[in-house]
Amino acid sequence: MREYPYPSKSDVRWISPDWLDENMDDVRIIDVQPNVHDYIMGHIPGAVYMNEGILRVARGRQPASFVPPESIESVFSSMGISRDVPVVVYSGPGVYSRCAAGIGDGLEQTMVAYALIRFGHQMVHILDGGIEGWMESGRKLTKEFPDVLESRFRAEIRCEHFVGMYELRSMMEGEDIILFDARPTPSYEGQAMWIKPGHIPGAHSLPWRNLMTEKNSRLLRSDVELRSMISGFDLDNKKIIVYCGTGREATNEYLFFKYYLGHPDVRIYEGSFTEWSSYQENPTVTGPNPR
């Protein structure tokens, strides 16, 4: 059994419904269900709503880059987020949204949790199991909206969390690098929605959904299952880089390697395969093997 909060000391921790219930007055709870109507239909008491889509805008060849810090400051401030108060993030399956492709998949909570630490917050909690876990523990949702006092959030981009395309190019042939692709296996192996097929040369396939239980994409598998899943990879003294399609799926694995496992050197390639494949000179590999 996982003891919450897990790990005991970290910038990002996974918490249980019990822990949240006991600490509700000391945290800012953020509901990131897929649609505001999901939030209106029911949310954890005290939670304020945020749609993850507000985090990204088009920039250059990138159709989905993180917004500049001055933009996120106004968003986080209006929600009452401050860097000296812990934040709890949770999502749900999106009952109103009918779980269309990519909606209610569970990545909302890791995407927003990553954005918080990327812009300088250092006390982020993820509700393991999301809204389903809260309800399964016998706790109720509410339709009442909390009063929110605006804060003064000051963003600080923490560049140590991510890597750019040119930096990745210079690093990827090193023996001390291990690269993971968090997309589904068919996308990794062949032609998907991108202009080029396959994956970045040297990348290992590790679909993000494999880390989560079959019934609940917001609930991590057991510690035994998770460690068994990565036991075949030599991670000792390696720099881990994770990527996916647009950088969203990779947030799940970034948080897992960086904070759940506590690996000392992990970064996310935010541009991911969308950026990589848009450059003619960047090679890709098809099939089940990294190279």
Give the pLDDT confidence score for residue 99 in this predicted structure: 57
pLDDT tens-digit readout, 36-47: 999 999 999 999
Residue 181's pLDDT is: 98
pLDDT at residue 100, rounded to an integer: 62
Taking residue 64's Cβ as centre, other Cβ atoms within 10 Å add up to 19
Q: Which band of pLDDT confidence, cut at 50, 70 and 90, is reported for residue 57?
A: very high
pLDDT band at 268 (very low <50, low <70, confident <90, very high): very high
What's the DSSP call for residue 165? Answer: H
Query: Cis peptide leading into 5, omega within 30 of 0?
Result: yes
Mean pLDDT of 16-34: 97
**Burial of 81 (C-beta count, 10 Å sphere; 0-12/13-18/19+):** buried
Section 169-197 average pLDDT: 95
Task: Give me the mean pLDDT over the 242-260 stretch.
Answer: 98
Structural domains of the chain, ranges and CATH numbers in brackets: 12-136 (3.40.250.10), 159-276 (3.40.250.10)
Bridge partners, residue 268, by sequence: 162, 242
Sign of CA dihedral 119, 26, 223, 236: positive
- Cβ-contact 220, 128 below 8 angstroms: yes
In this predicted structure, which of 58-72, 109-123, 242-256 has the lowest mean pLDDT? 58-72
**Catalytic position from the list 244, 250, 255, 266:** 244
Tokens 């949310």 sit at which residue?
43
- Is 244 among the catalytic positions? yes
Mean pLDDT, residues 280-284 taken together? 97
User: Cα(first)–Cα(last) distance of the chain, in Å?
Assistant: 38
- What is the per-residue pLDDT for 98? 64
Residue identified by tokens 């097929």 is: 197
Tell me whether strands 62-66 and 56-59 are parallel, antiparallel or unpaired: antiparallel
Q: What is the pLDDT of residue 1?
A: 73
Model pLDDT, residue 201:
97
| Residue linked to tokens 């003891």 | 3
Residue 101 has pLDDT above 70, yes or no: no
Position 75 scores a pLDDT of 96
Looking at residue 60, its pLDDT comes to: 86
